[in-house]
A and B are shown apart, each in its own frame.
Chain A
C-alpha cells in the first residue's frame, strides 16, 4: 500500500460519538433518538452528541440551553464517567491485540503504529476492518479509522467518513488532498490560529504550503516551522506506546460554576476542591510541582491565568490551595467569575527528598494516609472539613490515560 520498506503505517482510531453511543448501548430506549451527554452542573456544555442530534446543529462544546433550543425532544443524559472509562479500556485491549505500539490520545481516540504488524495480519486495511469488527462484536460500538504515513494525516483521514468509516491516505495522494483543504481542518490549527491565517489571506493548506518558511517563522516563530510542515502533510512524531508516554508537564482541573460568583470567599471553596483533586492526581502519579497556576473566567468569557512559583516542591491539596489563594488575593476581580481552574506545573517525578520541616513532613504524611483510605473506600471518603457536603468532581481531563489497575481482566 505504501512505497518503501521504511515507510510507516499509522492508524488513528476514533470512537464515534463515544459517550452518547455508550449511553445508547446502556439504555436501548434511547437508541435512534437525539441525545446529548453533559456534565452535572446547571450551566453545563454538551460533552457528546449522538448522530441523531447532529442534524439539529448540536455539537460538542455547545451550551446545553442552546442545544435544547435547537431540539425540543432532546434527551439530556448526565455523564457517567466509569462506564466510558471501562469501554475505553476494553477498546484499548482490543487495539493492543494488533500492535504493542498503541498511543492513547484521549478517552475515545488512539494512534497505532501497525508497520510491524502488516505481514502478520495481511495489510493495514484488513487490520482496520478487524478492529472495527472486534469493537462491534464485544461492545456494539462503532469507530472510524484513518490510515496514513503519519499521525497528522491519519487523524485527518479518520474524520473524513464518520461514522464507522475507513479512509486511507496514500503518499501519492497527499499534495492533491491538502491543496484545497481548509487550514482549520488540520489537527493542531485551532480557531485563533486559523483566524490569523485568514487575515493573511490563507484559507487552504495549499496556500499555506506556498508561503516561504522564512515568512512563517518571522510571523509565528517556532509555530511557523510547524505550520510549514503541516501544510505539506509532514509529521515525524512517533506513536508513544501506552506506558511509555512522556511525563506530564502540568496537572490541573477546572470547573464551570453553577452560577456566576462575585465573592472571593465562595471562589476559595472551589479553589480548595480543585487543589485537592490536583493533589490527589499528583501523588497517584508520583509527581511534585513548584508552580501553581490559577485560571479564572469572567461572565463575559474573558479568561486569564496567574501563576506563582515556590522554591520547594509541593504535593498536597492544602499547599496548592494556599498558594492559589495568595494568587487570588492579588487579583482585583472586575466581574463575576464563571469558571475556576487550578493546575500545578514545573513538575518532577519520583521525588525522594524528605521535607526539612516537621509541619511540611506531617502534611505530606497526612495526605498519604488519606490517600490510602480513599484508595480503599473510594474518592472523598476522607476529606477536609471545608469540602464536606460539596460536590465531588469526577471529570475526564484531556490527559486521561488508563491506570494499571484498569487493565485487569474483565470479569464479564
Chain B
C-alpha cells in the first residue's frame, strides 16, 4: 500500500565525505523512525531549487524523504507499506 503526503519533518543527518549526507532517523507526527537502510538517492529540480530525495527504510516500511536545499528543510513525501 502506498500513500503520498508532503509534511515537514525533523531529520537527524550524518555529514560524511565528499559532501555526502545520510539521514539516520526522522521524527514524523511525534514518532521517531530509525533509518535502517538508504535504498536510493536522487536529485530533482523545482525551478532553480535542487531537491534531494532519499528512499529509506526502517524495520517495517519504506519512506520517501526530501531535502530542500534552498530552505534547508526536510519533508516526507510518501510511504510504502507492505501488505
Contacts and interface: CB of A to CB of B under 8 A. Distances in A.
Contact of B46 (A25, A29, A377, A408): A377
Given A25-B39, A29-B62, A412-B20, A83 B47 contact: no
The binding surface of chain A is classed by DSSP as helix
Nearest to B19: A411
Given A411-B21, A412-B21, A412-B52, A27 B39 contact: yes
Contacts of A83: 40, 42, 44, 53
Given A26-B39, A82-B42, A378-B47, A411 B57 contact: no
Contacts of B69: 411
B51 to A, nearest CB: 9
Chain B, interface residues (CB within 8 Å), range: 20 to 34
Contacts of A412: 19-22, 41, 43, 52, 54
Interface in B24-69: 37, 39-48, 50, 52-55, 57, 62, 64, 67, 69
Contacts, number: 65
The binding surface of chain B is classed by DSSP as strand
A271 to B, nearest CB: 27
A408 B39 CA distance: 22
A26 B50 CA distance: 19
B43 A411 contact: yes
A145 B48 CA distance: 35
Contact of B82 (A29, A376, A408): A29
A375 B49 CA distance: 10
A22 interface: yes
A374 B46 CA distance: 9
B55 A26 contact: yes
Given A82-B42, A86-B42, A412-B20, A25 B55 contact: yes
Interface centre among B39, B54, B69 (most CB of A within 10 A): B39
Contacts of B57: 28
Contacts of B41: 412
Contacts of B19: 409, 411-412
B43 A22 contact: no
A47 interface: no
A401 to B, nearest CB: 16
B80 A29 contact: yes
A259 interface: no
A410 interface: yes
A238 interface: no
B54 A381 contact: no
Given A381-B47, A411-B50, A412-B20, A26 B40 contact: yes
The list of the 4 closest CB pairs from A to B, nearest first, reads A82-B44, A86-B42, A377-B47, A25-B40
